[in-house]
Amino acid sequence: MELISVVIPCFGQAHYLQESVTSIAAQTHGNWEIIIVNDGSLDNTTAVVQSLMKMHPDRITLIEKSNGGLSSARNAGIRLARSEYVFLLDADDRIQPTMLEKTSSILDANPRVGFAYTEIQHFGARNDIYRLPDFDSATLISIDNIVCGHCLIRKSMWASVGGHNEAMREGYEDWDFWISCVEAGWQGFCVHEPLLCYRKTAGGMLNSANKKRERLIATIVMNHPNLYDSSTSSWAREVIRKSVTHDAA
């Protein structure tokens, strides 16, 4: 059974960490390590992680760093991962017991699949299942992000695209990363089961990012100029120009 490294960035969410770690310890795939990245938290993240390390000896590593955003924290964790397979999980979410087993079997069987993800069970402010379509690169590039950001990736894929773009600090960093992977020739795969438990709150990061959706999509287009036609690129430049003008006013 191959080792799987689970990377958990944490910024001000120490109170959720035990729930997240417990879901990993309950996996049917028992060969795992956890790398928790304290991204400059001002709460008791360090103390909570140290307590969890005593509960799971030699299974949890803590990285302490100054705040750099989600992409920076993920990159720091993946860089330290000992496995070729890395699962990306946020501190406030959890996974069902068969998540690592079922996603790793997809990567085992498909060498060109660089990331495997599942459908989503919401909990918290909502309690519904979010269904996702089969992976399609054209949809991902030109229509919407159809990939769940909490998924299993190949470390070699991450390295081949230079990791997550650390300039993407306001959201949609995962969408930008998947497009980078597709641009490099990798494919994704959706497991049609809700194996990710995603916490919904009124003030979550995704809600904040969606308010900036047009500008963030324009930024993604500008980050990948070879994938978009001239009219789309012109639209993106104009959106960015208006945004800069507005911010400077």
**pLDDT tens sequence across 75-113:** 999 999 999 999 999 999 999 999 999 999 999 999 999
**pLDDT tens sequence across 169-218:** 999 999 999 999 999 999 999 999 999 999 998 765 556 666 789 999 99
Mean pLDDT of the chain: 94
Q: What is the DSSP string of 74-133?
A: HHHHHHH--SSEEEE--TT-EE-TTHHHHHHHHHHH-TTEEEEEEEEEEEES---EE--P
168 vs 247, higher pLDDT: 168
- Both 96 and 160 in one domain: the answer is yes
Q: What pLDDT is attached to residue 181? A: 98
- Both 149 and 185 in one domain: the answer is yes
Tell whether pTM > 0.95: no
What is the domain range of residue 153?
A: 4-211
- Both 127 and 242 in one domain: the answer is no
Handedness of CA 41, 43, 46, 51 (dihedral sign): negative
Q: What pLDDT is attached to residue 150? A: 96
**Number of structural domains, the chain?**
2
Task: Report the share of the chain in percent with pLDDT over 90.
Answer: 90
**pLDDT tens sequence across 215-248:** 999 999 999 999 999 999 999 999 999 877 666 5
- Both 141 and 21 in one domain: the answer is yes
- DSSP type of residue 134: P
Rounded distance, CA 198 to CA 16, Å? 12
- Both 91 and 34 in one domain: the answer is yes
Rounded distance, CA 180 to CA 162, Å? 9
* Other beta carbons less than 10 A from residue 244's beta carbon: 11
- Both 120 and 218 in one domain: the answer is no
DSSP-based three-state secondary structure for 234: helix
Handedness of CA 175, 131, 33, 64 (dihedral sign): positive
- Both 93 and 216 in one domain: the answer is no
Instruction: Tell whether the model's pLDDT for residue 161 goes beyond 70.
Output: yes
